[in-house]
Amino acid sequence: MATNVAVDVIVAGNVCLDLFPSVQQDSQKEWTIIPGRLLQVGPVTTATGGAVPNTGIALHRLGISTRLIGKVGDDWFGQRVLDLLQQQSPRLVEDIIVSSEYPTSYTIVISSPHLDRIFFHCSGVYDTFDSSDIPYASFQGAKIFHLGYPPLIQSLYLNEGKELEKIFCEAKKQNLFTSLDMAMPDPSTPAAHTDWSVVLQHVLPYVDLFIPSLEEILFMIEPEQFQKMKADSEYGDLLPSVDGTLIEQLSRKLLHMGAAMVAIKLGEHGLYVRTSSDPSRLSALRLFVPSVHDWTDRELLAPCYEVKVMGTTGAGDCTIAGFLAGLIHCNRLEQVLSCATAVGACCVEQTDATSGIPSWAEVQARIMRGWKKRGTCLHLPEWIWDEEQKVWIGPHDPLRKGKR
């Protein structure tokens, strides 16, 4: 049973068990799946996966009081998820529903330092997850509500996203700062054929921070451009062909749909953010900062920090955790972006999603010691580099004056 103790952040959405077969691979060889071929792998490790454990545990490890809302099956995989969460803190399982009707969601993750990840995913119990599974009473006293991976949860995107809208509407009624993450829709599911522009038009007016990846949002609101860029790109990697103009166009469209802030995850190229030009739309920030003036009409891109990459599983979710923790601890948007990319960098230093996340103090100490940032190969016409804050300032940002 859940307690009535107030927390800073509530994280809801997808919970699954990740299974990691260890893959030994020469960096010059391509690991491909071919029918009839035997692929030798090593021992399998298990870890919690999905937006809820990834972002939630990262927040917990950063010292942020966090409540997790999700669902597992009454099976070995479900018990393993609960055991792993309890190892972090017994409180993290208090709002996890155990269902006897459907199996636990799970993902087989093929992860290598030299390749992007390959996933085999079973949605399982998440075919039944909807707004009725959210204990709205637990919102009382919280500051932030974050939900992740609605494209993996049928009820949240069917019927033009009405269930998702209901959840975020309730969170705003209780004056929470709201955050929404996405996942790439599986082409074999109804999610791939959903009109996401319509879903987002319903939901984004209740979302203070919308934080998808570039590929996800291109697929959702510019599907024809996504397919063309995918066909033209080497190995299907869109990012080398992306420039600041495209990212700005996408963010402007999402702000017009109603989001207060749009942050777009750019993988190894960093994190882009654009905020509303309407201060009243940013009013939820008053939970954290004395004035929203310096957050209004901003456009920034924070490069990633240099690390040795062991795996990218959970990097986006941990970047979000860093962003939300930064909101609680910091006053300036530049500082928040620095925290977000730092926590994401800590994540990729380990194979799984969260074991690399240290305490908040350790993250800050590493930044203060002069942690080096990566360069970027993105084309950023008319952008300015701020050496002091270590961010790129976009051409639409009003605070770029004096930064040349």
Average pLDDT rounded to a whole number, residues 378-397: 92
Residue 99: pLDDT over 90: yes
Output the pLDDT for position 32: 67
Average pLDDT rounded to a whole number, residues 43-58: 94
What band does 242 get if pLDDT is binned at 50, 70 and 90? confident
- What pTM value is reported for the model? 0.92
Reading the block at residue 332, the tokens are: 């300036």
pLDDT tens, residue by residue, 254-287? 999 999 999 999 998 999 999 999 999 999 999 9
Output the pLDDT for position 103: 96
Mean pLDDT for the chain overall: 91
Residue 27: pLDDT over 50: no
pLDDT tens, residue by residue, 299-357? 999 999 999 998 888 999 999 999 999 999 999 999 999 999 999 999 999 988 899 99
CA-CA distance, 98 to 72, in Å (whole number)?
Answer: 5
Output the pLDDT for position 240: 62
CA-CA distance, 279 to 144, in Å (whole number)?
Answer: 19
Residue 6, number of CB atoms within 10 A of its CB? 13
What band does 54 get if pLDDT is binned at 50, 70 and 90? very high
Looking at the chain, the whole-number percentage of residues with pLDDT higher than 90 is 73
Domains of the chain with CATH codes:
10-25+42-400 (3.40.1190.20)
Output the pLDDT for position 40: 80
Output the pLDDT for position 374: 92
Residue 189: pLDDT over 50: yes
Q: Which residue has the higher pLDDT, 34 or 385?
A: 385
Residue by residue, what is the 3-state secondary structure of the chain? Answer: CCCCCCCCEEEEECCEEEEEECCCCCCCCCCCCCCCCCCCCCCEEEEEECHHHHHHHHHHHCCCCEEEEEEEECCHHHHHHHHHHHHHCHHHHCCEEEECCCCCCEEEEEEECCEEEEEEEECHHHHCCCHHHCCHHHHCCCCEEEEECHHHCHHHHHHHHHHHHHHHHHHHHCCCEEEECCCCCCCCCHHHHCCHHHHHHHHHHHCCEECCEHHHHHHHHCHHHHHHHHHHCHHHCCHHHCEHHHHHHHHHHHHHHCCCEEEEECHHHCEEEEECCCHHHHHHHHHCCCCCHHHCCCEEEECCECCCCCCCCCHHHHHHHHHHHHHHHCCCHHHHHHHHHHHHHHHCCCCCCCCCCCCHHHHHHHHHCCCCECCCCCECCCCEEECCCCEEECCCCHHHCCCC
Output the pLDDT for position 174: 95
Residue 383: pLDDT over 60: yes
Output the pLDDT for position 400: 79
Average pLDDT rounded to a whole number, residues 29-39: 71
Residue 218: pLDDT over 80: yes
CA angle 67/143/7 to nearest 5° reads 35
Q: Which residue has the higher pLDDT, 121 or 169?
A: 169
Output the pLDDT for position 33: 67
Q: 39 burial class (0-12, 13-18, 19+ CB within 10 angstroms)?
A: exposed
211-220, 255-264, 372-381: the lowest-pLDDT one: 372-381
- The dihedral region occupied by 316, where left means phi > 0, alpha psi between -120 and 50, and beta the remainder, is alpha
Average pLDDT rounded to a whole number, residues 211-222: 95
Output the pLDDT for position 1: 45
Average pLDDT rounded to a whole number, residues 157-171: 96
The angle, 0 to 180 degrees and rounded to 10, between the axes of the packed helices 196-203 and 214-221 is 110
Looking at the chain, the whole-number percentage of residues with pLDDT higher than 70 is 92
